[in-house]
Amino acid sequence: MLKQRIITAVALLLLLVPALIAPDPTALAILSLILCTLGTWEWGRLNDLSFVKACYLGALCAFICIGFWSLQLLDDSNYYFWLFCSAAWVLIGTALLRAGPQGWLKIHKPLRLLGGVWALFATWLAINQAKAMSINFLLSVLALVWVADIGAYFFGKAFGRRKLAPNISPGKSWEGVWGGVLAVFVLSNCWIWIDSYGLGSVWTGFDQLGLNSQGASLFTLIASKGIVIQISALVFMVAMSVVGDLIESLVKRSVGAKDSSRLLPGHGGILDRIDALLPTLPIAMFWSLL
């Protein structure tokens, strides 16, 4: 299993890294479109659609994304759109976690399906608009989610005592969440130092190669508002990454599924890998426009 996980992870990185750093945004737009379309197919299957109907749902998400792309809206960040997405994630996410797995099944299926399409479309749009801002900004958002997850895992293993959501994800603990916050706070300050002093010449070198890298990172933008805003925003962002993870676990638990699919050998499905990014990327775009 470990060997399989490593092979899959390496294959994903070989696809992701060139798309992230390519000067032409087309590569990342296509790769993220494929991933979000497959994620929408998984969402349909988790919500009791047949294979064919789930394909139609994936095609709907792809159609919406391509429509926005054809209208040349990937570079046009709208404050009110991202405010709406952020508020919806906070309000709907809180309501879903309060209702639990049984409450999820009481929601009309069309609403569940359209909610997934909306979430994955918004994620696709956020990824590409974040790269349009700068590679630095996009990488900082991705790093926040990954480091929060790693910190939560190790702190939870070492110190986890109080269960976070035992009816949804028994392995998660409050100690793990705060460990993730601490790890992200350390990461953010290191990143800010790199932005200011450490690798300025490297960012300049990237730009000379045609890479849009010198835009401010998410961490620098947040820190510019003061230490209180910095701490509050980082705690909020980590909390929302946990909400994304928990909601996917809630949906899987409601239907008795272990993974969202078997598309990624050793890792489960697409949604299992991007669940924490679904709320975090739109909220990061909102922060960037404040």
Range with the lowest mean pLDDT among 43-57, 123-137, 155-169, 174-188? Answer: 155-169
At 199 the pLDDT is: 55
- Virtual torsion, Cα 142, 58, 21, 150, nearest 10 deg: 20
* 81, two tokens: 């759109």
Q: Indicate the average pLDDT of the chain.
A: 88
CB 264 within 8 A of CB 12: yes
Residue 65 has pLDDT above 60, yes or no: yes
CA-CA distances (angstroms) from residue 69 to 16, 64, 128, 287?
Answer: 20, 9, 10, 23
At 212 the pLDDT is: 46
* 221, two tokens: 């933008």
Using pLDDT thresholds of 50, 70 and 90, give the confidence band for residue 58.
very high
Using pLDDT thresholds of 50, 70 and 90, give the confidence band for residue 76.
confident
pLDDT in tens, 248-289: 999 999 988 888 888 887 778 899 999 999 999 999 999 888
Q: Which residues are within 8 A (CB) of 188 and not within 5 positions of it... i.e. 6 or more apart?
A: 144, 219, 222, 223, 230, 234
Q: Return the amino acid letter for 60.
A: L
Residue 204 has pLDDT above 80, yes or no: no
Using pLDDT thresholds of 50, 70 and 90, give the confidence band for residue 214.
low
